[in-house]
Amino acid sequence: MPKLTIDEKEIEFKQGQTIIEAGKDNGIEIPHFCWHPKLSISGNCRVCLVEVEKMPKLVIACSTLASDGMVVHTQSEKTIKARNAVMEFFLINHPLDCPICDEAGECKLQDYAYSHGVGESRFDEEKVHKRKRVELGPRIMFDAERCISCSRCIRFSDEIAKENQLTFVKRGDRVTITTFPGESFDNPYTLNTVDICPVGALTSLDWRFKTRVWETSSTESVCIGCSRGCNTEIWVRNNKILRLTPRQNEEVNETWMCDHGRLNTFKFVNEEDRVDGPHLNKNGELVKVEWNEAYSTAFKKLKEFKPGEIAFIGSAYATNEDNYALVKFAKSLGVTNIDFLRHTIPGDQDDILIREDKTPNTVGALLMGVKPLAGGNGSKQIIELIRSNKIKALYVMEDDLIGDDSEMEKLLSKLNLLIVHASNFNKTAQLAHVVFPASTYAEKHGTFVNFQNRIQRIKPAVATEEMDRTLDGMSQSRWDKFGSKYDRWMQGKKFDANPSWKIISRLSGQSNQQLKYDTADDVFEDIAKSVTELKSLDLDDLGNQGVELGSQKVGSAKTVNSELS
């Protein structure tokens, strides 16, 4: 491979790479504002100026191709002087908004002003004033005074979102960004521009003024908005989720996620309609009870029915561990009527990220065995069996069968027994005889399999009362080792909920065929022994990027989509 030298360090690079790309690949960070690895090169911020031997002038590292034998200086006197001048130029008209700016703590301009600025301004004139609090679209607020005209948002809209909605207008120090006449910045991916904006010019209306980023914790997770399974960070303060942001995974979502996934897949975790503790229907009203009473009542009622009179409904919203435990429990009772609902919106899909399947784990549910027997008609068959009074007891895990379907509501009201796992009260849960509070995806460990057959991990970002009970029972030595990691969960409201696999495991404890799982890891180990497609797979193998299961084992995406239809 060809080689170049940056700051006396000889590095290899790929033919066609620019200086900034070669440096980045070798751990050498060259300051930049307008350059972004996923966007075209604009070369208009000039912060990445570097000195190259045998070249008469400084060059911008973002657009200058690396060549074999090239010698680059990023810390020479000439380079530093030019960089300081560029930073001074940027700060001339930039408002002193840091104390109230949402970008504070994540701002490149702040960081570079500290590390590459001169520390004082020679500018004595009045700053140029521009429009503030401009709603470019339904989810984005624009502050023109903070904008440094890097053009990242314009290029993203055109090149990634495929919606050319933004442009520069005016010239010189009056230049600003706006939408084209009659346009609104409303494509499905607008909030990615908040992530890539190097200053606080573009802010999210949903996140705006809620907190400071350094007051929040972040946890790696997976978006549940569709079967893409975009990698995310969950940002939490006082045990309450405040925002989701994308996490880089080149095999899944690169560095992006859609606006729907950001805004509509976490707020239910914070809602007041959460199922807080187990409930039993007593005299037509759901009453909160102790866990042991709920377990004993549910199991006792289940045993009143023959296996053929019972059906289990799993969920593509639930983890592999939850669905596996459900299937195993159903089979221990001799029940074979098992399936889950499909949630697809035909045509609601693009060639960027969004998928028709609006659940995160359809493939995983199928792999775990939540599917009808050969020749069966799945959930439709179960509904018909309920209608003909052959199914008298229904066990529903983490899904709402009723929704807005009044006919389904009448049908389920005929059941002699309805047991439901739910994180929030829905129409199915309100009709149930026993309701178990299920932890949300943000409150438990587990795994999902996306439409590409990639298995990925989720981790708890929000605590439940069960976690408090676990911490209370922790030995001092274990607390000294792990307890400090949970300090952020000590404050804020917690709901009394459990992962579905744990509820099923404890419910099975009422029989002599108990599922002896103490952790989600235990369930996964059992899955790796029993499910062919995951044979010998270890949780540590997944890392934070997941692992693609062999297509010869799982079946191609085409096969899954065919099954869904």
Residue 187 lies in a domain: yes
Per residue in 506-561, pLDDT (tens digit) is 999 888 778 889 999 999 999 999 999 998 898 988 999 999 997 434 444 444 44
Q: Do both 209 and 292 map to the same domain?
A: no
Q: Are residues 135 and 160 in the same domain?
A: yes
Domain check: are 407 and 306 in the same one?
yes
Q: What per-residue confidence (pLDDT) applies to 561? A: 45
159 & 238 share domain:
yes
Q: How confident is the model at residue 124 (pLDDT cuts 50, 70, 90)?
A: confident
Question: What average pLDDT does the structure give for the chain?
Answer: 91
132-139 mean pLDDT = 95
Q: Is the domain of 25 the same as that of 157?
A: no
Are residues 492 and 427 both part of a single domain? Answer: yes
Same domain, 236 and 317: no
Q: So what's the pLDDT on residue 479?
A: 59
Q: Are residues 352 and 468 in the same domain?
A: yes
- Over residues 331-356, the mean pLDDT reads 94
Query: Percent of the chain at pLDDT above 70?
Result: 92
Query: Are residues 218 and 308 both part of a single domain?
Result: no
Q: Are residues 183 and 327 in the same domain?
A: no
Greatest C-alpha distance within the chain: 89
In the predicted structure, residue 145 carries a pLDDT above the cut 50: yes
Reported as a pLDDT band with limits 50, 70 and 90, residue 489 is: low
Span 159-207, pLDDT tens digits: 999 999 999 999 988 999 999 998 999 999 999 999 999 999 999 999 9
Distance, CA of 401 to CA of 419 (rounded, Å): 12
Q: Is the dihedral of CA 546, 552, 554, 555 positive or negative?
A: positive
Same domain, 260 and 334: no
The range of the structural domain enclosing residue 79 comes to 3-92
| Nearest-angstrom CA–CA distance, 424 and 497 | 10
Q: pLDDT tens-digit profile of 351-400?
A: 999 999 999 999 999 999 998 754 444 567 888 889 989 999 999 999 99
Interval 13-35: pLDDT, tens: 999 999 999 999 999 999 999 99
Q: Encode 173-188 in three state secondary structure.
A: HHCEEEECCCCCCCCC
Phi/psi at 392 (5° precision): -115, -15
**What are the pLDDT digits (tens) for 233-278?**
999 999 999 999 999 999 999 999 999 999 999 999 999 999 999 9
pTM of the model: 0.91
Number of domains in the chain: 3
pLDDT of residue 473: 59
pLDDT at residue 472 tops 80: no
**Does 552 reside within a domain?**
no
Cα 223 to its chain centre, rounded Å, is 3
* Residue-wise pLDDT tens digits, 67-121: 999 999 999 999 999 999 999 999 999 999 999 999 999 999 999 999 888 888 8
